[in-house]
Amino acid sequence: MRAFNLINLFLIILLLTGICLAEELTVTSSLRDVQDRCLEIVQIMDEKDSLKDMDIVLAVDNLEYNWNKNESALCCMVNHKNIQEIGQEISKMKMYVANDDRDAFKVSLEALKLYCHSYLHFMGANLHNIL
């Protein structure tokens, strides 16, 4: 009977470890994808004079599309209120592109990178999530 209990405990720990690893990989890859796309937008901005350029518009649209796709997976793992700022900043960026407000766009882009950087430190697998 004791061996059966130890096997069950081991299986439970193994299952929880697998869930935490899947959560960590999903959160990390989603936030790193946003960071990479932000860097891509910065590189495109350096080459262009106006935000109403097709390359910038497409880059922001791709950022929004991929974030919406990743956000639905993240909502199953983390509190939605913790990640909603990223979607709000992307919406602001689209508005700034429409208005060709380069300075506000840069501020919003930096805020987006800051959110992703800070979220990478506290989201993901930890003992609190297991319990």
Q: Does residue 131 lie within any of the structural domains?
A: no
Do 74 and 28 contact (CB within 8 A), yes or no? no
80 falls within a domain: yes
| Cβ atoms 51, 101 nearer than 8 A | yes
Whole-prediction pTM: 0.80
| Mean pLDDT (whole number) for 60-69 | 92
Does residue 39 sit within a domain?
yes
The three-class DSSP label of residue 66 is helix
| CA 118 – CA 64 distance, rounded (Å) | 20
Instruction: Count structural domains, the chain.
Output: 1
Name the band, by pLDDT with cuts 50, 70 and 90, for residue 79.
low
81 lies in some domain: yes
- pLDDT bin (cut points 50, 70, 90) of residue 10 is very high
CB 99 within 8 A of CB 76: no
Domain boundaries, position 84: 31-123
